[in-house]
Amino acid sequence: MIEYEQRGDAAWITIDRPEKKNALHLEGWSDLRAALDRAAEETRVAVITGVEDSFSAGDDIALIEATETADDLDELVGVLGDVLFGIENLEIPVIAAVNGLAYGGGCEMVAAADLAVATTEATFALPEASIGAYPPYAAERVAETVGKKRFMELAMTARPVDAERALDWGLVNRVVPRGDLAATVEEFVEAVASMPAAGLRVTKRAVAARVQASGELERVRGGFAQVRADEESRAATDRFLHGDPEV
């Protein structure tokens, strides 16, 4: 599911699960974190992308349905937090190469990345509320990135926004035709890799220190617990998984 390829100064980490629009189960999230840690040891930049027409649809929703006990909840929150908050704190810069839809946790990965380049076809959404969940990392971070009202539009309507709007909102740095995505990301890689690593590392730490607040994982766990205890939310998850919805 997670492919790793070193290209010069960058590790390209590709999510390869096209039949699920590159949604991740727990093992996939854990493998993604392992790939990021490997990149931090071996390269100067990490690039995250997806296969075919999706960056990532985020969580495999079966993960949420299976969250029944406190231990299940702790495991889910721990794994997701380890990746999303971990991107912020990785020793090297992380670039999101957004080749298609970035929904839920996929959108959150884009927000967590230091830089992001999207294709003109890319779309971004936080549909969690419509399927009986909530966007944990986004609730802590995306309002900081795009502003409160824009975040609330994403989180409360579940409607996707296109790449140009994501650019206007500050969620991505560039929007390019699909055929130019890799080359544009490589330009960022070349520019970033040419910088002394210590300065970039200190810059990342300074930004992370500014936005991180105490009790984040506890708030995430509490939010998940409230949503999963709600009958209406559980019914929405069931409809999504066992009906015939569009992702």
**Contact assessment for residue 118 and residue 164, using Cβ atoms and an 8 Å cutoff:** no
CA distance 15 to 32: 8
128 has catalytic annotation: yes
**Contact assessment for residue 91 and residue 200, using Cβ atoms and an 8 Å cutoff:** no
Q: Containing H/E element for 209?
A: helix 197-211
Q: Which pLDDT tens digit goes with each residue over 95-113?
A: 999 999 999 999 999 999 9
* CA torsion, ordered 205, 200, 29, 246, to nearest 10 deg: 100
Per-residue pLDDT, 22: 97
Task: Tell whether the model's pLDDT for residue 246 goes beyond 60.
Answer: no
pLDDT classification of 61: cutoffs 50, 70, 90:
confident
Catalytic residue, candidates 52, 65, 75, 108: 108
Q: Which pLDDT tens digit goes with each residue over 215-225?
A: 666 776 676 67
Catalytic residue, candidates 128, 153, 164, 218: 128
CA distance 160 to 97: 18
More confident residue, 70 or 23: 23
More confident residue, 188 or 64: 188
Task: Tell whether the model's pLDDT for residue 63 goes beyond 80.
Answer: no
- Where are the chain's structural domains? 2-193
* Average pLDDT value for residue range 103-132: 94
Per-residue pLDDT, 245: 45
Mean per-residue pLDDT of the chain:
89
Global pTM? 0.88
Which CATH number applies to 2-193? 3.90.226.10
Q: Which residues contact 223 (CB under 8 A, 6 or more apart)?
A: 134, 136, 139
Identity of the residue numbered 121: E
216 has catalytic annotation: no
Beta-bridge partner residues of 116? 96
